[in-house]
Amino acid sequence: MAKEVTQRSENYSQWYNDLALKADLAEQSAVRGCMVIKPYGYAIWEKMQSVLDGMFKKTGVQNAYFPLFIPKSFFSREAEHVAGFAKECAVVTHHRLKNDPDGKGVIVDPEAKLEEELIVRPTSETIIWSTYKNWIKSWRDLPVLCNQWCNVVRWEMRTRLFLRTAEFLWQEGHTAHATAAEAEAKAQEMVQVYARFAREVMALPVIVGHKSPNERFAGALDTLTIEAMMQDGKALQAGTSHFLGQNFAKSFDVRFTNNEGKEEYVWATSWGVSTRLMGALIMAHGDDNGLVLPPALAPIQVVMVPIYKTQEEREAVLEKMAQLKTGLEALGHSVKVDDRDTLRPGFKFAEWELKGVPVRLAMGARDLAAGTVEVARRDTLEKVTMPLEGIEAHISALLAQIQQSIYDKALAFRDANVEKCDNWEEFKTKIQTGKFLLCHWDGTAETEQAIKDETKATIRCIPVDSYVCEEEGVDIYSGKPSHQRVVFAISY
Amino acid sequence: MAKEVTQRSENYSQWYNDLALKADLAEQSAVRGCMVIKPYGYAIWEKMQSVLDGMFKKTGVQNAYFPLFIPKSFFSREAEHVAGFAKECAVVTHHRLKNDPDGKGVIVDPEAKLEEELIVRPTSETIIWSTYKNWIKSWRDLPVLCNQWCNVVRWEMRTRLFLRTAEFLWQEGHTAHATAAEAEAKAQEMVQVYARFAREVMALPVIVGHKSPNERFAGALDTLTIEAMMQDGKALQAGTSHFLGQNFAKSFDVRFTNNEGKEEYVWATSWGVSTRLMGALIMAHGDDNGLVLPPALAPIQVVMVPIYKTQEEREAVLEKMAQLKTGLEALGHSVKVDDRDTLRPGFKFAEWELKGVPVRLAMGARDLAAGTVEVARRDTLEKVTMPLEGIEAHISALLAQIQQSIYDKALAFRDANVEKCDNWEEFKTKIQTGKFLLCHWDGTAETEQAIKDETKATIRCIPVDSYVCEEEGVDIYSGKPSHQRVVFAISY
């Protein structure tokens, strides 16, 4: 095999990096903390974008674009937001370079200092609400339902490809509504869009729930989240949707005249997912041979590898493969024939396994004579020889089956690793072994913080599906009364 | 009418701004020189992206993503590039804000100064070629054909919506090749992709040609351009494709082993179009009533306005319109029924004219009884009443006809305003009246500069189509020998 992958059991973290790098998804760039997303990785991200964008538009959302830069003073407007966001960020202070009079290079021109520094957006609530002020005057202007696909920058100290990078790509939706109820409904609608996307397209059995007040977005009254379990039992927050109340409307003075002629502040939501989803995809489904891509997101769904000794055999097999390719493409599948003549089939098999292609077809002269083809599934690594007759329809069905099967496997894994826990000593041990623990919580920030300090575990969410457990009990740590169990886990 | 538009004859520049603003395409933001692209404008940009992206992919190009930031030292590597690009740009010098100890706001933390300043990319050749160094070792790794859709920043002093903004959106393709011939062919292929897109999709009859050495991209050996004529006779550079030779490969030490085992530097191209195309679209086709959108780029191709007096009439007309909508959508058209109940039909007509919707259908109770509908074309403002029978196919054909017709009109306008000119005094007068002048040029930068200094006119291109004129003559300014005519114009 050309590229060795670290085994998960040996070093899970190194395994993750190996997959991201060796499957050609991404790499570190020359700029600290910023990654390069390589064509194969970007093709997966494009598929995510395309599906999500269609789902957003069906809910009435339109795309728009707002500035990369935010005046520093905007961050001071919303008190909680400044505390949460305006700290580790990229600050533009000058607008010109000039030739270094003492050398060959360039230096920052001290005369080109900006009057007010600009922050490279870590998120766009402030610049967008300063814009909405001009758009919204009357109830007739509402709702405003905008989304933007863009880059954002948060100056993270420790970075990991996709999971935590200084610059990342995302979408951020920002909506404005006439009533609190309408805004809350929108925040819920969008977290359900994310959950459906995660489950049906990414094959990720996410848990939907509310964040505890401690873990809310800076400036939100409620944060809804989708939480996914990785193969090491850690949680990955895969998307969030916030009900922002009137906080940003008040900070940027966005009022409207309601249909009774009275002035009111506007109600807001925001919601986003990012290239972090790529990290979730790798970690949830990959195995020791490489990526395992759900067919719905695979840039190549079917790869064909010809096996031959002579030039004549090569041509005959490639001709048949070209026919198969046309047939599969007509069914809407993406297909690649790997006709590289300088590499052995075994090398190609390993490469496409590493890259997670769901189905591999291999065919040699004997297959051709017998009218058969070898079909290999990436997820189970099963190989079967099948008749060529009707193979296109079979593969179409197989791809759907693989999609479901990857989901089922992840769901079974999750269910096997979620447990109720009512004993603090047990909690401390189990939480370190990669479990999601359903525990009673007294609802206070103090208890939550104490548990985090002792174990690093946080409340991932107060679930609204999957593991809803509204029952009376006592907090696992404080012993105080509790009304429901919440999901504790150690997270990325 | 709700929104008055300045007439072109009165103030062309103000007319342009009126269209951009009042048709809800874009507006200035709170950040100097940065625009907000509003949903209607962004929907047009998305259509441009979608068509271009498909065209790129057909040529074998894949999308990827490279960092927003470029280390300052990278700009010093390629001598011409630093002179052309590294001057007016956004410079990140710090990575943290902190609470102002003396006040309520935030200040830049002086302790968080970066060791090396980062430049917000004005274009990405340097960061991409520093990456390609890791990707390219052998001839087997070539060609590399990447494109990225992203934002870039150039600190322009005077900005205009879409035409010149500090931040803009664009795509930049960057390819790496084993031979000069292959790279030159790629640069030519991509400028032809742009030309086909401009002509067939934007209905812009562009001229393709080479830039003079003076007007080349900083670091290029050859720059190909598509140049469009606006309605004031000024030229707008709508897209460029560069043959970069081995300049960037040498600056970033990108070598490969060729198939004879020898090491060589890699050959490069880059090519881009930006949201500037939105400006071209507005200025080339708009009229005194507003935008005129080619159907291929119109977010709404057909708008329907119901006319009624009673609620019963309203329902009957809207029911028929819903049927029509379904029929037109089945033919692949985008349709909107404007069922707003608080606005008069005349107001709606004006609004959709301002927004450039290619076809408007109006229908009242009498039409319904008679089985007719009023069909209005945006480009010619013609209205005809037609039978409903077979209307879907008619409108489909009409949209194709409008697309062609907008192109033909722009082409006729251009041809009427391109002239040969061999007299310097005549040149000085005519160039100010909005003409493209085909003149002999001696090939020197000095003459080109002198003409620019006296008249503001520049060589837009040495045409390779439309007006190729290779003939012996004498330079219009210097009187020295010349081998071909070139296109002079005043440009945006």
Q: What is the pLDDT along chain A (492 residues), one digit of tens a residue?
A: 457 899 999 999 999 999 999 999 999 999 999 999 999 999 999 999 999 999 999 999 999 999 999 999 998 887 677 777 668 999 999 999 988 887 778 899 999 999 999 999 999 999 999 999 999 999 999 999 999 999 999 998 889 999 999 999 999 999 999 999 999 999 999 999 999 999 999 999 999 999 999 999 988 999 999 999 999 999 999 999 999 999 999 999 999 999 999 999 999 999 999 999 999 999 999 999 999 999 999 999 999 999 999 999 999 999 999 999 999 999 999 999 999 998 999 999 999 999 999 999 999 999 999 999 999 999 999 999 999 999 999 999 999 999 999 999 999 999 999 999 999 999 999 999 999 999 999 999 999 999 999 999 999 999 999 999 899 999 999 999 999 999 999 999
Strand A302-306 to strand A359-363: parallel, antiparallel, or no bridges (unpaired)?
Answer: parallel
* Chain A residues near residue B66 by CB distance under 8 angstroms: 29, 36
pLDDT score at B4: 86
Residues A106, B82: C-beta atoms closer than 8 Å: yes
Coarse DSSP helix, strand, coil percentages of chain A, rounded to the nearest 5 percent:
40, 30, 35
Q: What is the DSSP letter of A242?
A: E
Q: How far apart are the first and last CA of chain B?
A: 31
- CA–CA dist B231, B285 (Å, integer): 8
Q: Residue B117 has which token pair? A: 């300043």
For B7-42, write each residue's pLDDT tens digit.
999 999 999 999 999 999 999 999 999 999 999 999
Strand A302-306 to strand A335-337: parallel, antiparallel, or no bridges (unpaired)?
Answer: parallel
- CA–CA dist B442, A32 (Å, integer): 49
Would you say domain A296-402 falls under CATH 3.40.50.800? Answer: yes
Residue of B nearest to A169 (CA): B65
For B305-362, write each residue's pLDDT tens digit.
999 999 999 999 999 999 999 999 999 999 999 999 989 999 999 999 999 999 999 9
User: Three-class SS of residue A114?
Assistant: strand
Instruction: Work out the minimum CA distance from A102 to partner chain B, whole angstroms.
Output: 14
Q: Residue A41 has which token pair? A: 């990785």
* Chain A residues near residue B126 by CB distance under 8 angstroms: none
Tally of helices (H runs) and strands (E runs) in chain A: 13, 26
The total of other beta-carbon atoms located within 10 Å of residue A423's CB is 11
- CA–CA dist A251, A127 (Å, integer): 11
For B269-303, write each residue's pLDDT tens digit.
999 999 999 999 999 999 999 999 999 999 999 99
pTM flag (> 0.90): yes
Q: What is the ipTM of this complex?
A: 0.96
Of B69, B97, B155, the CB nearest to A91: B97
A12-70+123-285: CATH homologous superfamily? Answer: Bira Bifunctional Protein; Domain 2 (3.30.930.10)
Q: Which of B68, B85, B119 to mutate to test the interface with A (most CBs of A within 10 A)?
A: B68
Paired residues of A474 in beta bridges? A481
Of B63, B71, B167, the CB nearest to A68: B167
The total of other beta-carbon atoms located within 10 Å of residue B422's CB is 14
Query: For residue B70, how many C-alpha atoms fall within 13 Å in the half-sphere facing its CB?
Result: 27
Confidence of residue B1 (pLDDT cuts 50, 70, 90): very low
CA distances to A167, B163, B235, B470, B491 from B431, rounded to whole Å, are 47, 21, 11, 22, 11
Element (H, E) at B85: helix B79-85
Q: Is A255 in contact with A129 (CB distance < 8 Å)?
A: no
Instruction: Work out the minimum CA distance from A10 to partner chain B, whole angstroms.
Output: 28
Paired residues of B482 in beta bridges? B473
Q: Is B321 in contact with B391 (CB distance < 8 Å)?
A: no
Q: What is the DSSP letter of B371?
A: T
* Chain A residues near residue B68 by CB distance under 8 angstroms: 34, 120, 151, 153, 167
pLDDT score at A1: 45
- CA–CA dist A471, B333 (Å, integer): 54
Phi, psi (deg, nearest 5) at residue A90 = -90, 125
Mean pLDDT of B415-421: 97
Q: Which of A77, A92, A274, A347 to mutate to test the interface with B (most CBs of B within 10 A)?
A: A92
Q: Please check the confidence at residue B2 and state whether its pLDDT lies above 70.
A: no
CA angle, residues B105, B109, B111, in degrees to nearest 5: 165
Residues A73, B105: C-beta atoms closer than 8 Å: yes
Q: Which residues are CB-neighbours of B241 under 8 A, at least 6 positions away?
A: B187, B188, B190, B191, B194, B223, B224, B225, B269, B270, B271
Among residues A184, A174, A181, A193, the alpha carbon closest in space to that of A59 is found at A193
Q: Residue A194 has which token pair? A: 């994310």
CA angle, residues B483, B484, B487, in degrees to nearest 5: 150
The count of CB pairs under 8 A between chains A and B is: 190
The total of other beta-carbon atoms located within 10 Å of residue B380's CB is 12
- CA–CA dist B418, B397 (Å, integer): 32
- CA–CA dist A151, A159 (Å, integer): 16
Among residues A285, A269, A270, A145, the alpha carbon closest in space to that of A201 is found at A285
The total of other beta-carbon atoms located within 10 Å of residue A309's CB is 9
Q: Which of A24, A40, A65 to mutate to test the interface with B (most CBs of B within 10 A)?
A: A65
pLDDT score at A100: 84
Confidence of residue B231 (pLDDT cuts 50, 70, 90): very high
Instruction: Work out the minimum CA distance from A55 to partner chain B, whole angstroms.
Output: 16
CA angle, residues B26, B30, B31, in degrees to nearest 5: 95
Q: Residue B142 has which token pair? A: 């070539």
Tokens 């905007």 belong to which residue? A74
CATH 3.30.110.30 domain residues, chain A? 418-489
- Extended strands (E) in B307-416: 335-337, 359-363, 372-377, 383-387
A49: left (phi over 0), alpha (psi -120 to 50) or beta: alpha
Tokens 């990526």 belong to which residue? A291
Would you say domain B418-489 falls under CATH 3.40.50.170? Answer: no
Residue of A nearest to B39 (CA): A64
B12-285: CATH homologous superfamily? Answer: Bira Bifunctional Protein; Domain 2 (3.30.930.10)
Strand A144-153 to strand A62-63: parallel, antiparallel, or no bridges (unpaired)?
Answer: parallel
Of A39, A73, A105, the CB nearest to B146: A39
Q: Please check the confidence at residue B118 and state whether its pLDDT lies above 70.
A: yes
Q: How far apart are the first and last CA of chain A?
A: 31
Residues B127, A167: C-beta atoms closer than 8 Å: no
User: Three-class SS of residue A305?
Assistant: strand
The total of other beta-carbon atoms located within 10 Å of residue A60's CB is 11
What is the dihedral angle through the alpha carbons of B73, B79, B84, B86, rounded to the nearest 10 degrees? 10
The total of other beta-carbon atoms located within 10 Å of residue A27's CB is 16
Q: Residue A172 has which token pair? A: 């951020």
What is the dihedral angle through the alpha carbons of A376, A380, A386, A390, rounded to the nearest 10 degrees? -90
Residues A91, B91: C-beta atoms closer than 8 Å: no
* Chain A residues near residue B77 by CB distance under 8 angstroms: none
Domain B297-401, architecture per CATH: 3-Layer(aba) Sandwich (3.40)
The total of other beta-carbon atoms located within 10 Å of residue A479's CB is 12
pLDDT score at A157: 81
Q: Quick one: A6 exposed, middle or buried, by C-beta within 10 A (0-12, 13-18, 19+)? A: middle
- CA–CA dist B436, B445 (Å, integer): 20
CATH 3.40.50.800 domain residues, chain B? 297-401
Longest dimension (CA), chain A: 84
Q: What is the DSSP letter of A380?
A: T
